[in-house]
Structure 1
Amino acid sequence: MRKTKVICFANNKGGSGKSTTCGNVGYGLTQLGRKVLLIDGDMQLNLSLSFFDEERVLEFAKGGKNLYEGIKRQEDLTGYIVHSSYDNLDLIPSSTLMSSIEYELFTKWQREYILKKCLENIRESQGYDYILIDAPPTLGGWVMNILCASDEVIIPVESTPWGLFGLGNMFEFLEQVKQIVPELKVGGIVITKVDTRKNYFKQTFAALKQLNDVKVFDTYIRVDSSIEWSQDNNAPVMAYKKGSRSAAEYMELAGEIAGVPDRDT
């Protein structure tokens, strides 16, 4: 059994494709034979909606089986796991109450490590190869919690004129977190929403390549209507439309992350 690896997808800018990338990479890893647990850390519920319809997601959000309840009670999160309709892919859903998670954490002892402690039994059981966490587009105590619980952070950056806006703040925040957990690694930057007909991609790629000691994934994700249709159908794009361009790209990205880029897709 491989050691469980925890990766969070984070960027303080909204619209970067975090939830989409997290969910599709998670599904892609299962297609490579890995067992994956997804954690929806964002009050917008987008990762949860990637695998369950709105009615079911709201049922999770209003009930007792969601991340907010587990963190508030500081409990082992094993009991908050729900199974998706896909083999080897489970989820801890979010809640709209995550908007008040900062308040819940504020008075807690060693508050930066609460999520890490709640995940301890899941990690030690080694029932999953990967735990992927979708972080909200903020920089604060909850995102610090997520980063402190992670081995790596992957930063999705959209290929638009404003895509790089705030990235400096993200790296400054990561340096602060590394003072608490120096072992945290930046797994890399993945460029999303690419339109190769426009210069934004070349500009974004060139700017990111100038960053010192930061990997930029070879695989980038192009604009594709199949992604929107798959979201509308509460499914990862590889399950919704396996032959689409974005499905192939997310499989390539999953392979890069897993360290198996040369494989049959």
Structure 2
Amino acid sequence: MTKKTMTEAQFAETTKDLNVSPQTLEIAHGVLVLGKPQAHYAQELKLTAGAISQAVRRVWSAFQEQSAVPSGYERVTAILPAHQAFIVKKWEQAHKKNGILKMKMKTLANAIQKGGQGKTMTTCHLAFDGARRGLRVAVIDLDPQGNASYTLEAHACGLFASQMFDDSPDLVLSFFADRDNSGITLIHNDDRLANIEKLDLEDAATLLRTHVEALSQYFDVCLIDTPPFLSNVMASALLSADFVMSPVELEPYSLQGMEKMVAVIQNLREANPALQFLGMLPNRYNVKIPRHVENMAILREAYADLVMPFDIRQRDSIAEALGNQIPVWEIKKTAARDATKEICAMTQYVFEKMEVIQ
């Protein structure tokens, strides 16, 4: 087996925008550039061999992806006829599976200051759809109701959401380095989340953001289900996220909650300017109810482009699917077909906006 090595220049170029911990960089640099054995770091840092191997593999994989060279080939510089250059460009495409774009993990929070709006429905179906596309999806359930944890119970990994606020710098590395992180991984809600409100917001947000950033070594997408009220937990999620979306029912109290949510997002952008609002998702829309039709018109007139260009209708099959801990497309009823189309339109739209699929 050829020994994995990198030059200082290659290491610097590969890691300049790589979202990994300083410890991972130290280990990978020592092994890949300086040629030190992995056992040296396992003994010095008191980490498992699997954790050391994972750190090296994280940087090496990034280097290979940047190089875009298929296995069995080497990078060379050459001037080729157009038809041959076309073939060479296909090599890079061979590294993409099911249209997935290989890049750093993207984090999406579902948030609105009103319960029962569809946050869990959205989070769970994004997780189910992401997994079937081949994405490694982490779901952090910060909602004290724990509905996402119920629906995704089969994917629980044993780590609890409150631990994402622990002052333990190697928490994620020690927990995920030696496990298979394919498919969906649920970080379950728990009662200790209530204790987060005793922390200063800055401290809580820093701890969560640090652990979320560490997850990027092992996952492609992180989905955060938030509590239905403004709190340290919700604010920390928004300060840790790249994107936020807000499902909203077409009822007066729901629209009031959405108005407050827009103000919260605008204020938190001062501390997290990278946060992008993907928009409001009209949910449980019933065209036969006049107030729904009227409120939909009010919503689109008031917020225009901030409202997603589609809606989810009021359909029992969606609630049935969540209760059965499966996605709606696994409900074997004719009535579920329209719901499936609407849900898949939503997931496609969100993943494209997040730029995790083509």
Is TM-score (shorter-chain normalized) higher than 0.5?
yes
Number of matched pairs: 245
Q: Which has the larger radius of gyration?
A: 2
Quote the residue 1:97 is aligned against: 192
Q: Is the 8 A contact 2:109 2:225 kept in 1?
A: yes
Quote the residue 2:81 is aligned against: none
Structure 2 vs 1, CA of residues 70 and 87 (structure 1 numbering), >3 Å: closer, same or farther? Answer: closer
Q: Which of 136, 143, 150 matches 1:35?
A: 136
> What pairs up with 1:1-265 in 2 under 5 angstroms?
1-52=102-153, 65-75=159-169, 76-77=171-172, 88-103=183-198, 105-106=199-200, 110-123=203-216, 125=217, 127-212=218-303, 214-241=305-332, 244=336, 245-259=338-352
Q: Is the 8 A contact 1:68 1:95 kept in 2?
A: yes
Structure 2 vs 1, CA of residues 78 and 66 (structure 1 numbering), >3 Å: closer, same or farther? Answer: farther
Q: Is the 8 A contact 1:38 1:92 kept in 2?
A: yes
Q: Is the 8 A contact 1:10 1:134 kept in 2?
A: yes
Query: 111-120 vs 231-240, which deviates more?
Result: 231-240
Between 1 and 2, higher relative CO (CA 8 Å, sep ≥ 6) is seen in 1
| Unpaired segments ≥5 residues, structure 2 | 1-101, 354-358
Q: Is the 8 A contact 1:111 1:145 kept in 2?
A: yes
Q: Following the alignment from structure 1 to structure 2, what is the Cα–Cα distance between the partners of residues 242 and 176?
A: 44
Q: Is the 8 A contact 2:318 2:328 kept in 1?
A: yes
Structure 2 vs 1, CA of residues 22 and 180 (structure 1 numbering), >3 Å: closer, same or farther? Answer: same
Query: 212-221 vs 19-28, which deviates more?
Result: 212-221
Q: Is the 8 A contact 1:186 1:214 kept in 2?
A: no
How far has the Cα of 1:169 moved from its partner? 1.6
Q: Following the alignment from structure 2 to structure 1, what is the Cα–Cα distance between the partners of residues 333 and 323?
A: 16
The CA RMSD over aligned residues, in Å, is 2.6
Query: 34-43 vs 186-195, which deviates more?
Result: 34-43
Structure 2 vs 1, CA of residues 169 and 215 (structure 1 numbering), >3 Å: closer, same or farther? Answer: closer
Q: Cα deviation per residue 1:33-78 (whole Å; 9 max; x = unaligned)?
A: 433211111111111111227xx98xx8xxx731113323445345
How far has the Cα of 1:189 moved from its partner? 0.7
| Unpaired segments ≥5 residues, structure 1 | 261-265
Amino acid at match of 2:343: Y
Q: Secondary structure at the match of 2:109?
A: strand
Q: Following the alignment from structure 1 to structure 2, what is the Cα–Cα distance between the partners of residues 87 and 221?
A: 29
Q: Secondary structure at the match of 1:157?
A: strand
How far has the Cα of 1:224 moved from its partner? 1.4
Structure 2 vs 1, CA of residues 242 and 150 (structure 1 numbering), >3 Å: closer, same or farther? Answer: farther
State the identity %. Answer: 24
Q: Is the 8 A contact 2:107 2:222 kept in 1?
A: yes
Amino acid at match of 1:88: G
Q: Is the 8 A contact 1:189 1:214 kept in 2?
A: no
Q: Is the 8 A contact 2:159 2:188 kept in 1?
A: yes
TM-score by length of 1: 0.82
Q: Following the alignment from structure 1 to structure 2, what is the Cα–Cα distance between the partners of residues 199 and 186?
A: 29
